Amino acid sequence: MRKIIHVDMDAFYASVEQRDNPALRGKPVVVGGPPNSRGVVSTCSYEARVYGIHSAMPSTQAYKLCPQAIFVTHHNFSKYKEASDIIRSIFFSYTDLVEPLSLDEAYLDVTENKMNNPSATRIAQEILKRIFDETHLTASAGVSYNKFIAKIASDIHKPKGMTVIRPEEAEVFLEKLPIGKFWGIGKKTEARMKQLGIEWGSDLKKLEMYELLDLFGKSGSYYYNAVRGIDDRRVEPEHTRKSLGRENTFSSDLTDSHEIMAELEQIGARIEEDLRNQNVQARQLTLKVKYHDFRLCTRSVQSPTILRNKEDILSLVPDLLNKTEAGAIPVRLLGLSLGKLQGDLYKEPQAQMELNLFASENP
């Protein structure tokens, strides 16, 4: 049986800002887009969460909930990365089986570990203490026998908390868990389940596999196993990135074709820098367009030649753009992404590495 720890930093970006600026401590801090923009909240301090602010919320809504909140919209991303690197090095001092999910969270398999410590609980305690001692930031941890339960457990006693769910405790823990707390059940699925009378894990557990498959399609098997504490996924220390992209959301909708192309040129330049930094190249390009009415359009092409730089990328953009209604219909968002990557594909997922706060939107 595995011993898995999930470590999740507490309000990471906001905490780094508060750590480095004493004037922000104890204040409601929102890291994200400006309150008068189409940006969203990346994260916020626990003082801001009291007002109902949460990540992925539009910045305008966050401002309405707490006008006195301090919006941090100019970021020195290097300090987030620096803190994350220190935290990552702490993880690797215990085990090589580290699966980063983002800058601020990761799974660790400590079944066998470099300290020869048989207690995953004690290892988690040491890790949380070392994180605070070395970064002056706090984290929370979940400890259990699989990734699914460890992930849920890390959120139970945030901030600065640790929850241990032993195998013999898992059944009761999951049966008493509100359905919205199950990892993988989003707001829409939660609402649908509640309409069906599924409020708690115990309610979900009453349904047979065929019933869940009928109600929720392929996800039904996941729900069936999850509520029974079944998760055989291993902690995977190596991740190969499958795509690389950038996008931008505009404060005012774009209608001019020259302006649209100019924005895509800027995005292409940023992707060229990413290609160079990651030492990769690509064979596929995808254009993403979101219109003013939130309709999403994507167009892709397989490149006959290797895409190495901005010029290679932009040579394919006009044909893709002509297959959309961009300009004829006002454009809210533009994005480019590369697929079929080749080269020294790096092994860390970069979901939050870019922290493109001004370009993010509600999913």
Helix H, strand E, coil C: the string for 196-245 is CCCCEHHHHHCCCHHHHHHHHCCHHHHHHHHCCCCCCCCCCCCCCCCEEE
Do residues 65 and 35 make contact, with C-beta atoms less than 8 angstroms apart?
no
Radius of gyration over every alpha carbon of the chain, rounded to an integer in angstroms: 22
Q: 108, exposed or middle or buried, with CB in 10 Å at 0-12, 13-18, 19+?
A: buried
**Which amino acid type is present at position 280?**
V
* Token couple for 248: 């931008």
Total number of residues shown for the chain: 363
Q: Is 105 a catalytic residue?
A: yes
Question: Sheet holding 29-32: strands in order across?
Answer: 41-44, 29-32, 70-72
- DSSP line for 116-177: ----HHHHHHHHHHHHHHHHS--EEEEEESSHHHHHHHTTTT-SS-EEE--GGGHHHHHHTS
Distance CA 142, CA 131 (A): 15
Residue found under tokens 């009453």: 206
* Token couple for 256: 């001019």
Q: Which residue among the candidates 47, 105, 247, 272 is catalytic per the annotation?
A: 105
| 128-143: b (≥16 Cβ within 10 Å) or e | bebbeeebebbbbbbb
Q: Is 294 left (phi over 0), alpha (psi -120 to 50) or beta?
A: left
**Which amino acid type is present at position 187?**
K
Which residues are designated catalytic? 105
